[in-house]
């Protein structure tokens, strides 16, 4: 009798071990690239939601906007989540990437910041030096925001419908603002040397700035600049893609964004 019980117990242990091994074997593992800071914080919550659905997500953090798409296109990443559609479109046009949007994440309104002035339209002095991003899509956003707040006027037909505005498209500049094009990551560090600068929210937050409190001008939340999850074209219909998007769109992630960022970052799903 004792021997029979021992055998049953051993068989039970083997069955549990085998079941765990099979479950582990069935678990899909992917690597996702994102930006350090708020993006990475949100993805740490996404990984927990994905794990419950049998999807193991490893997050790789980057510190510039160029590498994540290059790594995805090369197959070093399975997905990335850090950019909006206009930026992705410009990268595809420039570099020929075969990358596609599979789901939205959040909206992060871009703002102008200054350590010297309180109003973008009224306080900037003549000849003010204003920093904007040097990549086409974010530079375009900055110029449109300058135009919206009356600091400049752009040539008709630029800035929308896929036609990015550049400083060469400024046709009215009553205060003779000097536009300094810098890498997006450098703008917070250059703020001491500038009268104002447009700064993406992820870099602003990392620099200790609160968009809803510190920005002297900020975008409307409704617009084309919702961030997204991107994968290679050939992977768009893979089952794990659906699981990944569902994990990001979970109530758990929505609640985290709402409570953690208090309106500086807004769910787009």
For the stretch 21-73, pLDDT in tens is 434 446 899 999 999 999 999 999 999 999 999 999 999 999 999 999 999 99
CATH of domain 111-218: 3.40.190.10
Return the percent helix, strand and coil in the chain, to nearest 5.
Answer: 45, 25, 30
In angstroms, the Cα distances linking 178 to 102, 154, 168, 218 are 39, 15, 12, 20
Q: Tell me what pLDDT residue 223 has.
A: 82
**Residue 238 per-residue DSSP state:** -
Out of 5-9, 16-20, 47-51, 199-203, least confident range: 16-20
With tokens 């036609």, the residue in question is: 163
Going across the sheet that includes 111-113, the strands are 178-182, 129-133, 196-199, 111-113, 217-218
Could you check whether 27-109+224-267 and 111-218 share the same CATH topology?
Answer: yes
With tokens 């549990």, the residue in question is: 16
Contacts of 200 (CB under 8 A, 6+ apart): 108, 110, 133, 138, 184
Can you say whether residue 58 is alpha, beta or left, with left for phi > 0 and alpha for psi between -120 and 50 degrees? beta
Share of the chain above pLDDT 70, in %: 90
Q: Which fold has domain 27-109+224-267?
A: D-Maltodextrin-Binding Protein; domain 2 (3.40.190)
**Domain map (residue ranges) of the chain:** 27-109+224-267, 111-218
Q: Which residue has the higher pLDDT, 160 or 143?
A: 143
**pTM here?**
0.77
Q: pLDDT, tens digit, for every residue of 89-140?
A: 999 999 999 999 999 999 999 999 999 999 998 899 999 999 999 999 999 9
């Amino acid at each position: 009798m004792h021997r029979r019980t021992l055998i049953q117990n051993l068989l039970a242990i083997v069955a549990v071990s085998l079941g765990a091994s099979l479950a582990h074997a069935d678990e899909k593992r992917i690597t996702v690239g994102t930006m350090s800071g708020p993006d990475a914080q949100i993805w740490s919550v996404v990984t927990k939601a994905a794990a419950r659905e049998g999807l193991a997500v490893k997050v790789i953090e980057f510190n510039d906007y160029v590498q994540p798409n290059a790594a995805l296109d090369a197959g070093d990443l399975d997905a990335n989540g850090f950019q909006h559609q206009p930026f992705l479109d410009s990268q595809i046009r420039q570099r020929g990437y075969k990358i596609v949007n599979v789901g939205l994440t959040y909206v992060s309104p871009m703002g102008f910041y200054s350590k010297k002035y309180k109003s973008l339209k009224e306080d900037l002095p003549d000849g003010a030096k204003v920093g904007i991003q040097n990549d086409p899509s974010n530079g375009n956003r900055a110029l449109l925001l300058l135009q919206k707040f009356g600091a400049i006027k752009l040539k008709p037909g630029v800035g929308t419908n896929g036609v990015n505005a550049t400083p060469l498209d400024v046709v009215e500049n009553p205060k003779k603002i000097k536009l300094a094009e810098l890498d997006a990551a450098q703008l917070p560090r250059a703020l001491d040397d500038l009268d104002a600068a447009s700064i993406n929210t992820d870099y602003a937050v990392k620099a200790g700035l609160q968009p809803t409190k510190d920005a002297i001008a900020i975008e409307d939340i409704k617009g084309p600049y919702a961030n997204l999850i991107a994968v290679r074209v050939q992977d768009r219909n893979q089952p794990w893609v659906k699981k990944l998007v569902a994990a990001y769109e979970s109530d758990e992630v929505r609640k985290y964004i709402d409570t953690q960022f208090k309106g500086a970052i807004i769910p787009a799903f």
